[in-house]
Amino acid sequence: MFLRFLFPLALGATLAAPLHAGNPLIPTVYSADPSAHVWPGDDRLWLYASHDQPGTNTHDTMLSYHVFSSADLVNWTDYGVVLHLKDVKWAISHMWAIDCVLRHDTYTLVYCAKQKGSGIFRTGLATSARPEGPFTDIGFIEGVEQGQDPALFVGDDNTPYLFWGAGGTCHAVRLTDDLRAAVPGTQVELSSQLRYVFEGPWVHKYQGKYILSYPGLPGGQWPENMYYASADKPLGPYTFQGCYIPQFKGQAGTNHGSIIRYRERWLAFHHSAWLSGGLSEVRNLMCDYLTVNADGTFLPIEPTREGVAVGTAPPGPSRVSVLLEAENGPAACGQLRETHVAHARPGFSGSGYVEGFGAPGNAVIVMVQAAQARAARLKIRYVAPLVAEVHKVMVNTALLPDPVHGFRTWEKLIDFPATADWAELDLGEVQLKEGDNTLMLSSVGASNLAVDCFKLEPVP
């Protein structure tokens, strides 16, 4: 994506997505620049995306990234914030488009941000042992200047290539095996080969050809269309093929996407402004079927309200659940308040769980983001192995009632029944406000409680 002037909203300023639509794909959080992957040994499709802050009129406010997964493209899990600007020591602002790669048994997030001091875009790297993160920054790629909108493609011989571009340019380079630096003498300038190119390249392979797709400006005018070109080698030269997502009602000024084959269907992920009614700085993810002709060319896409589905699930409303691992609180704008991460008890999800609730006020805090105010059903996965316990649960500044007994005392305590194994406590419907929301579980005294995760499920 690229900071630009607003284009006229006549295309869709009053366009609002009906609740039954499959697009917008993720209606619960403003998000853009989707990078789609299917990892070996995992039948889910994973999306890595940037985040737009509600209420903004600029892309300067993009500070974090989200990860989503689905096995049918209808039921989705949002893992919350997986990397935030506060944890990237070299960066000052503008956390824009991203990609991810599985390499040497490590998931590496490839992203961009403006560097402190210089203000230029760098291509950052952050790693995780899990596809959903959270990710830990390890610095930026050396030898890549103005590395905006990165995409990483790994060739059949396991050679990694980085593509990036902005402001009407597109570049590519071979990377070292550890992804930490550009290989000297391998950088190529692809701009002249890509008609209308502006930013956001993505590369995939089809029938021996390398397909580079990208957003471009027809006649140099906003909004962007999505175009593609083909080549016999990853670094080109590329031959322009055409436009596969032309202008459509309700699109954002930008577009940015990825193309992938999943469960025998070609899919084109991109973004629009359908959820916000045409506000170009608060975007939402989209997905439409892509028809590939026998000669490898694409039929143009007209984005649909129905969206997509695979397997036995029919296209329909996306159901997005938010899964917030307790141990990830600090990495996702939350906190462990005098509690700590543990791993001894088997059966936890994620990479651990939180214990240490043995003193008043000890707490775990997680953060959930919402595009618009909405209701969700809150569940907490926990163990209370010895006796039933009472604790406080707060959403933003409001303590929740006990789901069975309601408010019984001024302290508003909630019963956590004794359970020898992991169990879920259903706290019922809660209200999330637009933007950032905090969820806190805090202790009132002696405790053997262990907290695995918080789940926010859609309300019918």
Q: Rounded to whole angstroms, how far apart are CA atoms 441 and 451?
A: 9
All domains of the chain in start order, with CATH: 9-317 (2.115.10.20), 322-458 (2.60.120.260)
Q: What percentage of the chain has pLDDT greater than the value 90?
A: 92
pLDDT at 271 over 60: yes
Compute the chain's Rg from CA coordinates.
23
- Report residue 4's pLDDT band, with 50, 70 and 90 as the boundaries: very low
Place of tokens 């050679």: 159
Residue 311's pLDDT is 80
Q: What is the mean pLDDT of the chain?
A: 94
Opening angle at CA 83, ends 82 and 85, nearest 5: 150
pLDDT at 2 over 80: no
Residue 456's pLDDT is 98
Residue 312's pLDDT is 79
Average pLDDT value for residue range 145-149: 93
Residue 393's pLDDT is 98
Pairing of the two strands 75-84 and 319-325 = parallel
Least confident of 163-172, 307-316, 339-348: 307-316
Cβ(130)–Cβ(107) under 8 Å?
Answer: yes
* 357 Cα distance to chain centroid: 31
Q: What are the tokens at 63?
A: 């500070």
Query: Please, what's the b/e burial string for 165-190 (b: 16 or more CB within 10 A of its CB; e: otherwise)?
Result: bbeebbbbbbbeeebeebeeeebbeb
Which tops the pLDDT comparison, 6 or 399? 399
Residue 22's pLDDT is 87
Q: Rounded to whole angstroms, how far apart are CA atoms 351 and 134?
A: 10
pLDDT at 458 over 70: yes
pLDDT at 105 over 50: yes
- Report residue 287's pLDDT band, with 50, 70 and 90 as the boundaries: very high
Residue 17's pLDDT is 38
Pairing of the two strands 64-70 and 45-51 = antiparallel
Q: What is the 3-state secondary structure (H, E, C) of the chain?
A: CCCCCCCCHHHCCCCCCCCCCCCCCCCCCCEEEEEEECCCCCCCEEEEEEECCCCCCCCCCCCEEEEEEECCCCEEEEEEEEEEHHHCCCEEECCCCEEEEEECCEEEEEEEEEECCCCCEEEEEEEECCCCCCCEEEEECECCCCCCCCEEEECCCCCEEEEECCCCCCEEEEECCCCCEECCCCCEECHHHCCCECCCCEEEEECCEEEEEEEECHHHCCCCEEEEEEECCCCCCCEEEEEEECCCCCCCCCCCCEEEEECCEEEEEEEECCCCCCCCCCCEEEEEECCECCCCCECCCCCCCCCCCCCCCCCCCCEEEEEEEHHHHHHHCCEEECCEEECCCCCCCCCCEEECCCCCCCEEEEEEEECCCEEEEEEEEEEECCCCEEEEEEECCEECCECCCECCCCCCCEEECCEEEEEEEEEEEEEECCEEEEEEEEECCCCCCEEEEEEEEECC
Residue 460's pLDDT is 86
Amino acid at 56: T
Residue 408 φ/ψ region, left for φ over 0, alpha for ψ in the -120 to 50 degree band, beta for the rest: alpha
pLDDT at 417 over 60: yes
- Report residue 204's pLDDT band, with 50, 70 and 90 as the boundaries: very high
pLDDT at 23 over 70: yes
Average pLDDT value for residue range 390-412: 95
Least confident of 35-44, 132-141, 224-233, 310-319: 310-319
Q: Rounded to whole angstroms, how far apart are CA atoms 243 and 454?
A: 43
Q: What percentage of the chain has pLDDT greater than the value 70?
A: 95
pLDDT at 20 over 80: no
- Report residue 361's pLDDT band, with 50, 70 and 90 as the boundaries: very high
Least confident of 2-11, 297-306, 380-389: 2-11
Which tops the pLDDT comparison, 16 or 101? 101
Least confident of 170-179, 247-256, 307-316, 357-366: 307-316
Whose CA is closest to 196, among 240, 164, 236?
240
- Report residue 108's pLDDT band, with 50, 70 and 90 as the boundaries: very high
Residue 21's pLDDT is 57
